[in-house]
Each structure stands twice: as structure tokens, then as C-alpha cells.
Structure 1
């Protein structure tokens, strides 16, 4: 019970405060949500990724293990989401948004604080979460954008269009400058930090604004299926991987908790940017975040029991 109170007070409540502010502002001033999404994609997310990759400290061995887990986990989720989409007769652009809602989970402004709370700032556990966050961002801004664009402009144009995205160059710059231990001058590092620190706030405000424009549909079966896969089947798949490869301790527990996060806010942001069922994406993010108050708490409890 105490664990639930901590998560609600320290993790969930701050997230919903910012969402409510975005909701109220949208209702009062009728902002251009498309502009908010573009600010996220073209400025704040690249800045956030650059800073996190530049600051990250982890060994090649740890990165390799988490990378292999991530590839296997995402592959299994992809198969489950595609089977579900067929059963629900979800097609074309909506199918891409549905799949993205399952594959992309909130490793940053939700996963990082949860990790910090559960493991009490353990640097090893946080390194695992940072690697998952990095891989999620790379995957989101490669496959995630490609899947949405390819529906309307075709696969070749979608692939070429990705190279216009600043997030690609932010990732490359962050990794290379980190690897080469290059110090950045303050006139670069200070504004980069300002941008990175604003990303979470703007993303949550954007989600709140999207929610304010939502028209909840009577048929929510697709949303429910997304929640089941993301919040229940996802952690169960991770448990299977953990036992199959004999993982244990903090490493296993951190992976299990990381896999239990709700749908990424940025999946709704890119759906808004590319106008691919943004209401559907925002509904999933909203309900996924709400339901995670229960499921994430249970996963934390199970992780502590098993590992």
C-alpha cells in the first residue's frame, strides 16, 4: 500500500498536473496542437536525446546485454500487435498507430523516476534504464516515424524523409561526443540543457492539449487491446525472456520494471505531427497512463518477490 502511495504521489500526480494544465490552456486559448507537436519533434526531443546520450555512462558489456533484450522484446511485441491488429481488422494508418502504441513505452519521464524510486538512485539500475531510454528513442524516431509516413507517401519517400529529422543527427552527435570525451563550450551546453529540461513539460502539455480536443469513441476495443498488450502482455513477455536466459538480481528487476511502462507520450506526438489518427493515439496514451497506476505497482511488487 505504501508503495502505491509513493508512486501515485511522486510519479503519477506530477504527470497529471502538467496534463491538466495543458488541457485547461487548450480549452481557454485554443492552441495549435500541430505547432506544439513540431516543437517537440524538431527542437525539444533532439535536445533531450543529445544531452542524455552525451551524459550517459555505461560499459559496452552492459549495453550489449540490454540491446539484445530490447531487440527480442520489441520483436515479440511486434508479432503480438500485428496478430491483434488482424483480429480487430485494423488497417493502414490506424494499424501503424496501434502498433506504435504497443512498441513505444514511456521510458523517460515515467520510467526514469520509477527506476530512481524503486532502486533508490542505484547507478547500475539507472544505467539500464538510460540504455532502454536511448534505444526507445532511436527506435521511435526511426521505425515509428517511418511506419506513419510510409502509409501516406510510400516507403522510399518515408525513408528519405527520415534523414531530414534532426533527432538522427542529435543521436549521432551525442554518441560520438561522449565516446570521444569532447568537452562542449558553455554557449552550446547551457542552451542544450535548457531545451532538454523543457522536453518533458512540453510533451505533457501537448498531451493535455490533445486530450482537450478528444472525442471519445463509443467503440474502444482497439484501445483496450493496446492497453492489455502494453501493460500486461509486455511484462509477461519480459518475464519469459528473463527466465529463458537465466537473468536475475537488479538486472532482471530493472528490465522487468522498464518493460511495464505505459505508452509513450511521443507516440501521440508523432501521430499528431503526421496527422495519423492523433485522437486514437492520445486516447491510448491517456488510458494507458491511468491504468499504469495499478499495473506498474503490481510489476514492482512481483519484481521484488521474484528477484
Structure 2
């Protein structure tokens, strides 16, 4: 109960405030999310990569993430073949079970649970997962329509991608920013997590649940909230990692479906109702699964 009150509850309260605000005022989410994507998140990402001493742990993080990605895709393909699902439904299941909400949900949970060092790892995971989702997510949502070309374009349109590149160049060439610049960047970066949490609550308020396919939703919940963290725990066993990074990776893998995938599903007509349903239900059910996982990991 202590973990729930200190770590999970504050996050849920902020989500709920965004949800309630959107139900009440019907704001333009696109404007707020654009502010987050183009201003706040790049500032946070730049500060993290500018200040962080990159080492082998970050390479482990990249390798881990790709192994988990391909394992989850493989599981979905096996399930789709065995149950004779259409390509569209297979794409919808991949969107809703492979890509986790490591940004809006995972980053604040990890910040509350593991402090600043865990949060630094979480921001790196956030950027990596966003790039992977913008490539592989778009590819699976749009296959047969736009495919790889659209996926590459999607990655190149992400401002945080360039924030990482610039920060790494500053590190490699030992370029020191003046204190006024770092203070300004930090001021903007500090608002990122609250803003993206509120945006998630607003996005959940906009999800329209019409027709529930309970067998597919149950499958999505099991894969996203149970199979994914179990796979993550198995993968980290074979790496020599910082114990804190191990915990951050497992907790990130246990996050509900990424809200962004609903946008891809809508844009490319990849079972949008199913993806929205799984996103909503996994977010609700994660309240029951995150707390015991944090307790088990310590």
C-alpha cells in the first residue's frame, strides 16, 4: 500500500486531472501535445543526453529493447497464424501489445520509484522506444499502403531525435553551454513530465469504446502487462547490467499500451477500435499490476 500511495497514486491523480479536464472543457489536445513534442520533450531529452555519461549500460538498453521488440512481434505473429487472424487485425494486435507507454506513464512512475538516476535511464528509454515506435509502429500500421518510406519519414520528423544528436555532438566535442542557456533549457525540461502526463489523461478521455472484442482484449492485456515484463526479466538475466537499469527496463516493459498507437491505427485503419480498447483497458488494469511489480523488484 505504501508503494501505491507514494509512487502510483500521484501519477494516477495527474492522469485523472487531464481526463477530467478534457471531459469538461473539450480542449484541443493537438496543440498541447505539439507544445510537448516540439518544445518541452526536446529540452528534457537534450538535458538528459548532454549531462549523462553514456556507457555500456546504454548499449545494453538498446540491445535489450530490440530483443524484446522482436520477441513480442514474433508472439503476435504466432498467435495470429494459430487463430487465423487477418493482416489488419495482426497489425492492430502488434500496435497495442508491442509498444508500451514508457513516456507518459513509465517515466513518471520510474521518477517516483527510483529517483533521478532511474529517471535518466527512463528518458533514454523514452527516446529509444519513441524512435522504434515511429518506425516499426508506422510500418505495421501502414504496411501495404506506405510502409518503410513513411516509417523513416516519421522518425525524421521527431524533434527529440535531433535533440539527441545535438546533445551527443556537444558531448563528443566537449562544447560547454553558458549557464544562462542550461538554466533556460532546464526550466522548460522541468515541465515536460507533468505536461505529458496530463496529455495522456486527455488522450484517454478521447478514446471512444464502441465494440469490445473481449477475446482479443484479454490477449492484449496478458501480453502487454504480464508476458512483456516476464520476457524483460528473462532478457536482463543474460546481461551484465546496473541493477537499477534492470529494474527500470522491467518496469518499462510492464507499462500499458502506448496511446500514440491509437493515432497510427486510426490513420492507417489498422483496427482502431481494438487498439483503442486495449490501450484503455491495459491502462486501467495496470493500476493493479504496477504496484506489486514495484514491490517485487524492490
1:239 is matched with which residue?
Answer: 233
Question: Does the 8 Å contact 1:22/1:204 carry over to 2?
Answer: yes
Aligned residues: 296
1:291 is aligned, of 278, 285, 294, to: 285
Question: Does the 8 Å contact 1:85/1:95 carry over to 2?
Answer: yes
Distance 2:74 2:240 in 1: 23
Question: Does the 8 Å contact 1:203/1:265 carry over to 2?
Answer: no
| Alpha-carbon shift at residue 99 of structure 1 (Å) | 1.9
- 1:140 equivalenced with 2:136 (yes/no): no
1:106 is matched with which residue?
Answer: 101
Distance 1:122 1:17 in 2: 21
| Alpha-carbon shift at residue 228 of structure 1 (Å) | 0.9
- Indicate how the Cα distance of structure 1 residues 17 and 270 shifts in structure 2: closer, same or farther if over 3 A, else same: farther
| TM-score when normalising by structure 1 | 0.76
- 1:20 equivalenced with 2:16 (yes/no): yes
Higher mean C-alpha deviation, range 216-225 or range 82-91: 82-91
- 1:208 equivalenced with 2:198 (yes/no): no
Unaligned runs of 5+ in 1: none
| Alpha-carbon shift at residue 230 of structure 1 (Å) | 1.4
1:221 is matched with which residue?
Answer: 215
RMSD: 3.5
Q: Map Cα deviations across residues 177-229 of structure 1 (whole Å, 9 max, x no partner).
A: 23333222456434433443333333333332233333323324333322211
Distance 1:203 1:271 in 2: 21
Q: Give secondary structure in 2 for the equivalent of 1:218.
A: coil
Q: Map Cα deviations across residues 159-194 of structure 1 (whole Å, 9 max, x no partner).
A: 345433323212211222233332224564344334
Distance 1:137 1:178 in 2: 22
| TM-score when normalising by structure 2 | 0.78
1:167 is matched with which residue?
Answer: 160
Q: Give secondary structure in 1 for the equivalent of 2:166.
A: helix
Question: Does the 8 Å contact 2:131/2:155 carry over to 1?
Answer: no
